[in-house]
């Protein structure tokens, strides 16, 4: 039973919360799904030593402990993917499989780090809604922006309600994250790599290249989706997730 229907832990991206996984939570009812908000996004104490990928990774493992779950399939989108790499480094024994959505293994470039600094200033000066307005055109694909107004409105509302200290902490944690490329070849659990064809933050070429480095992984490119593929094309993503969850050999 546990082998057929493993628990799934969904890890959201930036600047989102658990709501980004609503279509998956509604459809994948055969599986025990957990989709927490990362520390600071909607509440929780700031970490004593500052925000870092390791803090989020340890928080999530603590959550599995409290739920009585030994191992899970971890599904992370973008920043959620950065956290998955940290979980693999620190808690490999808690991972049955990984689903990497619209993410990348490399660390921030110098330009990327400067962009984080600028966004931290915007968040502190103008609040979460300003971050939402800046990032919306980047995170949603051209098709969604043109044809799916309900998704645009939902993402705007989600990003606008997040808490500024948590957003700033996440930006700092992403700015300082390590390069995870060297570990790609060492991933030894079933892996699905999935991304949107219109994703400008984690473009398809990079996603495909990442999948090629993860032995035995499967790559799925979802048409007419940007960086928030699970929300932009939920039916196609749910099909891909179900196919992976039902056919991968989790041990």
With 0-12 / 13-18 / 19 or more C-beta atoms within 10 angstroms meaning exposed / middle / buried, residue 5 is middle
- 6 versus 15: smaller Cβ distance to ligand MLT: 15
Q: Does 166 bind ligand MLT (CB under 6 A)?
A: no
- Helices 79-91 and 164-175: crossing angle in degrees, nearest 10, is 60
CA distances from 162 to 59, 125, 150, 170, 172 (A): 18, 15, 19, 11, 16
List 20, 54, 78, 144, residue binding ligand MLT (CB under 6 A): 78
Q: Supply the minimum distance, in Å, between the C-beta of residue 106 and ligand MLT.
A: 10
CA distances from 45 to 39, 54, 127 (A): 7, 15, 19
- 78 versus 248: smaller Cβ distance to ligand MLT: 78
Interface residues for ligand MLT in 210-229 (CB under 6 A)? 227
What is the pattern of x (binds ligand MLT, CB under 6 A) and - over residues 174-193?
x-------------------
With 0-12 / 13-18 / 19 or more C-beta atoms within 10 angstroms meaning exposed / middle / buried, residue 170 is buried
- Whether the CB-CB separation of 213 and 184 falls below 8 Å is answered with yes
List 10, 14, 51, 56, residue binding ligand MLT (CB under 6 A): 14
Q: Does 201 bind ligand MLT (CB under 6 A)?
A: yes
Q: Supply the minimum distance, in Å, between the C-beta of residue 79 and ligand MLT.
A: 3
Name the site residues for ligand MLT (rule: CB under 6 A).
13-14, 78-79, 174, 201, 227
């Amino acid at each position: 039973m546990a082998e057929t229907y493993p628990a799934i832990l969904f890890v959201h991206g930036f600047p989102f919360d658990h709501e980004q996984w609503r279509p998956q939570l509604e459809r994948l009812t055969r599986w025990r799904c957990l989709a927490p908000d990362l520390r600071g996004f909607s509440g929780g104490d700031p970490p004593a030593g500052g925000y870092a990928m390791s803090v989020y990774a340890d928080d999530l493992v603590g959550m599995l402990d409290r739920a009585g779950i030994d191992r899970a399939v971890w599904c992370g989108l973008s920043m959620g993917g950065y956290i998955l790499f940290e979980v693999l480094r620190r808690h490999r024994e808690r991972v049955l499989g990984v689903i990497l959505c619209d993410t990348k293994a490399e660390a921030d470039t110098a330009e990327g780090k400067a962009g984080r600094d600028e966004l931290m200033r915007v968040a502190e000066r103008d609040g979460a809604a300003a971050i939402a307005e800046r990032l919306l055109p980047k995170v949603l694909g051209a098709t969604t922006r043109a044809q799916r107004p309900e998704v645009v409105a939902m993402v705007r509302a989600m990003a606008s309600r997040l808490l500024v200290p948590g957003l700033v902490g996440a930006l700092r944690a992403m700015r300082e994250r390590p390069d995870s490329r060297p570990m790609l070849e060492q991933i030894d659990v079933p892996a699905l790599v999935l991304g949107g064809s219109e994703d400008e933050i984690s473009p398809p070429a990079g996603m495909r290249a990442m999948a090629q480095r993860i032995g035995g992984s499967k790559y799925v490119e979802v048409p007419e989706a940007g960086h928030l593929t699970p929300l932009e094309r939920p039916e196609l993503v749910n099909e891909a997730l179900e196919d992976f969850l039902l056919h991968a050999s989790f041990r």
